[in-house]
Amino acid sequence: MSTVKEFFHEYIPDDAELEEFSRWAFGEYYRELDQALNVMETWNHLHSDKLQLKESGVLGEDLPAMVKVWRDTLA
């Protein structure tokens, strides 16, 4: 099983920044998300107005897009 932080570490290598992203993207219980489907469903529940993830999506495209949405909210 992978954790949210493991999914995104490649795109956000700084631990403090990764923690901030994880809380923003998935809420306080992000540590309990351990499967890609759960990550997708939680993201869509919280952020589908910004980016709608689909089951047929490609992680290599969806993960950096999710990080970009977060970074855009910081700007």
Domain boundaries in the chain?
A: 4-74
pLDDT band for position 1 (cuts 50, 70, 90) = low
**49 has pLDDT over 90:** yes
* Total-model pTM: 0.89
**Which of 7-11, 35-39, 56-60, 63-67 shows the lowest per-residue confidence on average (mean pLDDT)?**
35-39
Q: What is the mean pLDDT of the chain?
A: 92
Cα 37 to Cα 18, 26, 60: the distances in Å are: 20, 13, 15
Q: Averaged over 55-75, what is the pLDDT?
A: 94
Given this model, what pLDDT does residue 27 score? 93
Given this model, what pLDDT does residue 34 score? 78
